[in-house]
Amino acid sequence: MDRLAFYITMMAAWSLSGTFVIIALVLGYYNLWAIVIAAGAGLLLAYPAGYLISRKVKRDDPDWNPRHEPGDFGVVPPADAPEV
């Protein structure tokens, strides 16, 4: 997971959890379990949402090069790197 996906995942967790809790309350579910399930669903969907949004942002960015981002799984070693 790259850094951009991590930050977007944190924002998506708050957004999705809050949205699902509000939907549960609007539908009339005022008990604790409905709110816990709605918040849990938002937290579970936050990682895939953050990852997909991060990939879309990087794919659409013409200046992004995976060779220049350290720590990302898309890094390709240079051609003159010694064999290990």
More confident residue, 33 or 55: 33
> What is residue 62's predicted lDDT score, i.e. its pLDDT?
78
Instruction: Tell me: pLDDT of 29 over 70.
Output: yes
Q: What is the 3-state secondary structure (H, E, C) of 2-68?
A: CHHHHHHHHHHHHHHHHHHHHHHHHCCCCCHHHHHHHHHHHHHHHHHHHHHHHHHHHHHCCCCCHHH
Instruction: Tell me the pTM.
Output: 0.68
pLDDT band at 45 (very low <50, low <70, confident <90, very high): very high
Domain ranges of the chain: 3-59
